A and B are shown apart, each in its own frame.
Chain A
Amino acid sequence: MLEKYLIRKNHYSDSIALMRVAADLEALPGIFQATAVMATAANLNLARTVGLIDDTIEPQPNNLLIAVSAENEKAADAAFSQAEAQMDNLGSIADRSENCEPEVKSIEMAVSRDPGLNLALISCPGEYAAAEAKKALNLGLHVMLFSDNVSIQAELELKKISSAKNLLMMGPDCGTAIINGLPLGFANIVARGSVGIVSASGTGLQQISSLLTQWGVGISQAIGTGGRDLSDEIGGISMAQGVEILIEDEQTEVIVLISKPPSKKVAEKIITSARAGGKPVIVCFLGSENNDNDNIIQFATTLDAAAEFTYSKLNGGNLPNRMVFGDDITTQLFDQKESQKYIRGIYSGGTFCYETQSILRDLLGPVWSSTPIDKAYHLKDSWSSQEHTIIDLGDDEFTQGRAHPMIDHRTRHERILQEASDPETAVILFDVVIGCGSHANPAAEMVNTIKEARKISTKEQRQIYFIGFVCGTDMDPQNLTTQIKILKSASVIVAESNAEATRRATSVILTNSTGKKSIAGSSNNA
């Protein structure tokens, strides 16, 4: 070990800059201790106390002293040359950032950065989401609360605050909205136009806005409310707000209301206020029986029908120009084994899962699910199907530790392979949801799965029908037409909508059970 020093004459450097130099020197290999100071009497004393220098150095406040205790000469010299280089280059820090705006850490900070903000899109974990939404409302912002796992008490409180402040409160658990043409959350790129939607169902909103866009009809506003809005507890606060907005909105000519079965009382209240606006209203409250149509209100039992009624209202009663798929089930009719009796619906969209159950219940009878319409048919084990089973893999139960199946395909892959190994599976029915936020190429993922599933069933001399549809538009980044093409490349029977896909699946089952060999293409009418 040796002590060595270096003096730079008449070289003033700031003491803190020198402390930084000394700290860097001490980090070098072979250096035990280092100091860099102006050679004042006090500083020299300090260096002497710790044994870095001896008594021979004279105080000279304008001189700069660098002293080290080092393993050997070489280490000391290396330290000195680094120190000198460092001092000569203090000004030229290469990677200095020119931007001295710190990152935005809170909604309030965002508002102070841009006082023109008017909407907060919140998708943080549910346990913190209500607090963030309340802050946004307090700051005068409309809120779209994508997060779920927010208590119904918190939802009610937020919606009361929003009403008092005349702000829009979409959610919690609001997956989709299109406001002033901007897609929020999981939304499709749709045409702008004259249809205003208020929806308590995210995928329901996506289905109707996409079908209409593909048929050449655009959307003025698509407002989400969250799935519980039409319950007795919440009382439809958000849907009432939405209806009011659409009645006033000059762009909106037809209003569409979408929900899973609402509370009767709330539904009546909403329909009454919608009727008062005078604009035609298409009501699609899935699973609820109401055919009390009049010249303003028209009820639809499927999303597809709701879209079609809307189209007709705007086009003098004409029907939309539906997509033609060229193929017919008859052209690829398989001989199915007698054991193959059941439909297995493996969904990513909760509303599709619900809609399919309600169609099948009427056409085929009981349907099992982990989210059943009829509680008597709650699957004992969500991970294992029985008879006709329709499941929503986007439900919380299946998404623990995984992203939503619209983003992460793995859960669907595993489940479809499982269904393919079941000798009772006749049809595997599925949705492909595209648009902002969804997987970049979900059809390709699905086709890989289908190919693997076919290997399994073929080995056991069974053939399974794969019937699916794509929810989205040609303006979406994944492109509807491209996605359909990919599915058809794997001989998937593609339908235009969930309702139609479900009816096709039903035909297969009915045909099999009656032994008929020809199946007519299903109709689109509800």
Chain B
Amino acid sequence: MPKLQNENLNITNVGLRSFADNIQTAGGSVIHVDWQPPAGGNKDIGSKLADLVLNEKIETANHQAFGRYLAANPVLEGIGIARDELPDMSGKIILHAGVPVNWKDMCGPMKGAILGATIYEGWAGDLNEAEKLASSGEIRFDSCHHHNSVGPMAGIISPSMPVWIINNTTHGNQAFTTLNEGLGKVLRFGANSPDVIKRLKWMEKNLAPTLQATIQKTGPIELKPLIGQALHMGDEAHNRNAAGSSLLIKKLVVGALDSDATQDDIREMISFIAGNDHFFLNISMPSCKAMLDAAHGIANSSMVTAMARNGIEFGIRISGLPNQWFTTPAPVVDGLYFPGYSIEDAAADLGDSAITETAGLGGFAMAASPAITQFVGGSPMDALVQSRNMRNISIGANSQFTLPALDFAPTAAGIDIRKVIDTGILPIVNTGIAHKKAGVGQIGAGITSAPLDVFIQTISPLHKSVMASS
């Protein structure tokens, strides 16, 4: 029998606001919900969602998945060559950001980057040859995510490229990313001129071996403390990596001096990292990937384990629905543009870097990075609201990543598709904006949100699998 009489009534009001006012006038306690029909008014999805709210199976699965994310311990193991380290990398294969996409459908920057990689690999002598080869079907294109890796912007990884090796020492999985090339004319924005290829070759032949020699001296570097510290120094580990990059130099410099590397190589390495505030992005990203892969594949879990964009589509993966992507057209980011450029020049949202938001960094940790707040209206208070708001769509919080401005509150982490649909609050993504033409480079930066539609798509399959397993 329901018990009423000995309870103080605490009410939540959904619908007519005047009912809440009446309760208040009568001395009652009430929380009014600023309600909108969930799932953009899709009744079928809304009613399936109702079955999933506080569903025991999902709660148990999420507890497990989120626990694995929290327990994961990404460690920088060293540098290797993609062909040797990544699974299934033999032959002519090029990995790219986001969900798999055909050559003919790719966005400009991705095509440009692939042509560059084709020349870099020596599979073609010039752009014409490269174009022919790329469209011939002879090269296998695949998603970085399918090879335990992630890549910023176009996210190109070809077999000869050096990659960071990140080990999750708790669960044994690995994650990989190329080394960050810097800003301006770079492959990840689709540039493929000879100087770009030359830099990539230098990175392969000089930078990577020097880094590898250095890390052999320093030993594996624990990355969670480094990211946590960077958050306290004004980074959010997606659009701002100035602190993380500086901290990395601090870790590397003595190892480098102790190594067999020449003075010149060390000088070049240090000056290259020092000249690129985004160098740490390519360590932050695979760290997030390593943590989230550990949480992937837990039956019935509604936790998002990847958000990725290929410049055409925005895709997400869900722990409880393993090995499938849910996709929707990628939005164009309305951000702040460099002089001479506007939204008309922008490519649609691009890159695997939203893996940082998926892991509770980037937009989810915006409160850590006052500088980034300029994108959301300018006041740090706005950033605090955004970061706090992400709590409302997350399974939990990560106490290893804390936000000083929110009294050292842990960052929200583990996006729960149910909560996204129920509240209509969308995950925030901080992002750079690429020119839609290959090779122009970054033309701005801003904040976007993951599109609602992609989350709506996940409800029916999850509902089916949860209800079937009862």
Which residues on A sit within 8 Å (CB–CB) of B10?
114, 116-119
Rounded to whole angstroms, the CA-CA distance of A454 and B231 in the bound complex is 76
Interface residues in B1-19 by Cβ distance below 8 A to A read 1-5, 7-16, 18-19
Does A102 count as interface, using CB distance less than 8 angstroms?
yes
Question: Contact: A437 with B22, CB < 8 Å?
Answer: yes
Does A27 count as interface, using CB distance less than 8 angstroms?
no
B39-82 near A? 1/0 per residue, CB < 8 Å: 00101001101110111000000000000000000000000000
Nearest neighbor of A50 in chain B, beta-carbon distance: B340
**Cross-chain contact of A182 among B28, B55, B424 (Cβ < 8 A):** B28
- Min distance, Cβ A52 to any Cβ of chain B, angstroms: 6
A455-487 near B? 1/0 per residue, CB < 8 Å: 000000000000000000000010000000000
Which residues on A sit within 8 Å (CB–CB) of B423?
105-106, 108-109
Which residues on B sit within 8 Å (CB–CB) of A180?
4-5, 7-9
Which residues on B sit within 8 Å (CB–CB) of A245?
1-2, 4-5
Which residues on A sit within 8 Å (CB–CB) of B131?
none
A288-305 near B? 1/0 per residue, CB < 8 Å: 000000000000000000
Does B169 count as interface, using CB distance less than 8 angstroms?
no
User: Given the interface contacts A49-B340, A106-B419, A123-B14, does A118 sit within 8 Å of B32 by beta carbon?
Assistant: no
Question: Contact: A104 with B34, CB < 8 Å?
Answer: yes
Interface residues in A159-208 by Cβ distance below 8 A to B read 162, 166-168, 179-185, 187, 189
Rounded to whole angstroms, the CA-CA distance of A146 and B17 in the bound complex is 13
Which residues on B sit within 8 Å (CB–CB) of A241?
1-2
Task: Output the residue of A107, A166, A245 with the most chain B CB within 10 A.
Answer: A107
Secondary structure type dominating chain B contacts: mixed
- Min distance, Cβ A95 to any Cβ of chain B, angstroms: 9
Rounded to whole angstroms, the CA-CA distance of A130 and B31 in the bound complex is 20
Rounded to whole angstroms, the CA-CA distance of A241 and B3 in the bound complex is 10
Nearest neighbor of A109 in chain B, beta-carbon distance: B392
Rounded to whole angstroms, the CA-CA distance of A134 and B46 in the bound complex is 11
Stretch at the interface among A18-26, A330-338, A420-428, A496-504: A18-26
**Cross-chain contact of B385 among A102, A128, A146, A162 (Cβ < 8 A):** A102
Does A256 count as interface, using CB distance less than 8 angstroms?
no
Question: Contact: B336 with A436, CB < 8 Å?
Answer: no
Which residues on B sit within 8 Å (CB–CB) of A376?
none
Which residues on A sit within 8 Å (CB–CB) of B7?
118, 180
Question: Contact: B11 with A52, CB < 8 Å?
Answer: no
User: Given the interface contacts A16-B445, A110-B12, does A117 sit within 8 Å of B31 by beta carbon?
Assistant: yes
Rounded to whole angstroms, the CA-CA distance of A42 and B277 in the bound complex is 14
Interface residues in B168-204 by Cβ distance below 8 A to A read 183-184
A240-275 near B? 1/0 per residue, CB < 8 Å: 010011001111000000000000000000000000
Which residues on A sit within 8 Å (CB–CB) of B218?
none
**Cross-chain contact of A138 among B26, B43, B54, B388 (Cβ < 8 A):** B54
Rounded to whole angstroms, the CA-CA distance of A46 and B441 in the bound complex is 12
Question: Contact: B50 with A105, CB < 8 Å?
Answer: no
Number of A residues contacting the other chain (C-beta, 8 Å)?
87
Question: Contact: B31 with A100, CB < 8 Å?
Answer: no
Task: Output the residue of B13, B25, B424, B425 with the most chain A CB within 10 A.
Answer: B13
Rounded to whole angstroms, the CA-CA distance of A287 and B38 in the bound complex is 41
- Min distance, Cβ B115 to any Cβ of chain A, angstroms: 23
**Cross-chain contact of B5 among A124, A135, A221 (Cβ < 8 A):** A221
Does B37 count as interface, using CB distance less than 8 angstroms?
yes
Question: Contact: B50 with A166, CB < 8 Å?
Answer: no
Question: Contact: A122 with B9, CB < 8 Å?
Answer: no
Rounded to whole angstroms, the CA-CA distance of A485 and B331 in the bound complex is 63
Stretch at the interface among B137-145, B147-155, B251-259, B367-375: B367-375
Rounded to whole angstroms, the CA-CA distance of A119 and B14 in the bound complex is 11
Rounded to whole angstroms, the CA-CA distance of A452 and B399 in the bound complex is 70
Question: Contact: B15 with A147, CB < 8 Å?
Answer: yes
Rounded to whole angstroms, the CA-CA distance of A207 and B53 in the bound complex is 38
Does B408 count as interface, using CB distance less than 8 angstroms?
no
Interface residues in B331-347 by Cβ distance below 8 A to A read 336-340
**Cross-chain contact of A121 among B14, B27, B34, B381 (Cβ < 8 A):** B14
Which residues on A sit within 8 Å (CB–CB) of B449?
none
Question: Contact: A183 with B23, CB < 8 Å?
Answer: yes
Question: Contact: B12 with A128, CB < 8 Å?
Answer: no
**Cross-chain contact of B15 among A34, A123, A189, A221 (Cβ < 8 A):** A123
Question: Contact: B338 with A46, CB < 8 Å?
Answer: yes
User: Given the interface contacts A96-B381, A121-B14, A123-B15, does A108 sit within 8 Å of B339 by beta carbon?
Assistant: no
B381-394 near A? 1/0 per residue, CB < 8 Å: 10011001100100
Which residues on A sit within 8 Å (CB–CB) of B324?
none
Rounded to whole angstroms, the CA-CA distance of A341 and B445 in the bound complex is 79
Question: Contact: A138 with B53, CB < 8 Å?
Answer: yes
Question: Contact: B46 with A182, CB < 8 Å?
Answer: no
Does B400 count as interface, using CB distance less than 8 angstroms?
no
**Cross-chain contact of A110 among B1, B28, B33 (Cβ < 8 A):** B33
Does B460 count as interface, using CB distance less than 8 angstroms?
no
Rounded to whole angstroms, the CA-CA distance of A60 and B34 in the bound complex is 51
Question: Contact: B5 with A125, CB < 8 Å?
Answer: no
Rounded to whole angstroms, the CA-CA distance of A108 and B54 in the bound complex is 9
Question: Contact: B54 with A139, CB < 8 Å?
Answer: yes
Does A17 count as interface, using CB distance less than 8 angstroms?
yes
Question: Contact: A182 with B11, CB < 8 Å?
Answer: yes
Does B422 count as interface, using CB distance less than 8 angstroms?
yes
**Cross-chain contact of B14 among A107, A118, A140, A220 (Cβ < 8 A):** A107
Nearest neighbor of B275 in chain A, beta-carbon distance: A42
Question: Contact: A50 with B36, CB < 8 Å?
Answer: no
Question: Contact: B15 with A119, CB < 8 Å?
Answer: no
Does B378 count as interface, using CB distance less than 8 angstroms?
yes
Question: Contact: B381 with A120, CB < 8 Å?
Answer: no
Nearest neighbor of A36 in chain B, beta-carbon distance: B339
Task: Output the residue of B20, B33, B385, B392 with the most chain A CB within 10 A.
Answer: B33
A46-59 near B? 1/0 per residue, CB < 8 Å: 11011010000000
Does A132 count as interface, using CB distance less than 8 angstroms?
yes
Does A127 count as interface, using CB distance less than 8 angstroms?
yes
- Min distance, Cβ B11 to any Cβ of chain A, angstroms: 5
Question: Contact: B184 with A106, CB < 8 Å?
Answer: no
Rounded to whole angstroms, the CA-CA distance of A182 and B22 in the bound complex is 9
Rounded to whole angstroms, the CA-CA distance of A119 and B19 in the bound complex is 13
Question: Contact: B50 with A20, CB < 8 Å?
Answer: no
Question: Contact: B375 with A16, CB < 8 Å?
Answer: yes
Question: Contact: B34 with A105, CB < 8 Å?
Answer: yes
Which residues on B sit within 8 Å (CB–CB) of A88?
none
Question: Contact: A182 with B38, CB < 8 Å?
Answer: no
Which residues on B sit within 8 Å (CB–CB) of A98?
381
Nearest neighbor of A122 in chain B, beta-carbon distance: B14
Nearest neighbor of A250 in chain B, beta-carbon distance: B5
Question: Contact: B23 with A127, CB < 8 Å?
Answer: no
Which residues on B sit within 8 Å (CB–CB) of A323?
none
Does A385 count as interface, using CB distance less than 8 angstroms?
no
Which residues on A sit within 8 Å (CB–CB) of B34?
103-105
- Min distance, Cβ B14 to any Cβ of chain A, angstroms: 5
Interface residues in A121-160 by Cβ distance below 8 A to B read 121-125, 127-128, 130-132, 134-136, 138-142, 146-147
A357-392 near B? 1/0 per residue, CB < 8 Å: 000000000000000000000000000000000000
Rounded to whole angstroms, the CA-CA distance of A350 and B343 in the bound complex is 57
User: Given the interface contacts A108-B53, A138-B55, does A182 sit within 8 Å of B9 by beta carbon?
Assistant: yes
Given contacts A118-B7, A120-B14, A437-B18, 12 further A-B contacts (CB under 8 A): A19-B445, A97-B381, A106-B419, A109-B419, A121-B11, A121-B23, A124-B14, A168-B4, A180-B7, A181-B26, A184-B11, A185-B19
A-B contact pairs, 16 of them (CB 8 A): A14-B371, A16-B374, A17-B371, A19-B374, A42-B183, A46-B339, A50-B339, A96-B379, A100-B384, A102-B389, A109-B422, A119-B9, A123-B19, A124-B15, A135-B54, A142-B4
Instruction: Please name the 6 residue pairs, one residue from A and one from B, whose CB atoms are nearest each other, closest first.
Output: A123-B15, A50-B340, A105-B423, A436-B22, A35-B339, A134-B50
Report B's interface with A, CB cutoff 8 A: 1-5, 7-16, 18-20, 22-23, 25-38, 41, 43, 46-47, 49-51, 53-55, 183-184, 336-340, 371-372, 374-375, 378-379, 381, 384-385, 388-389, 392, 419, 422-425, 444-445
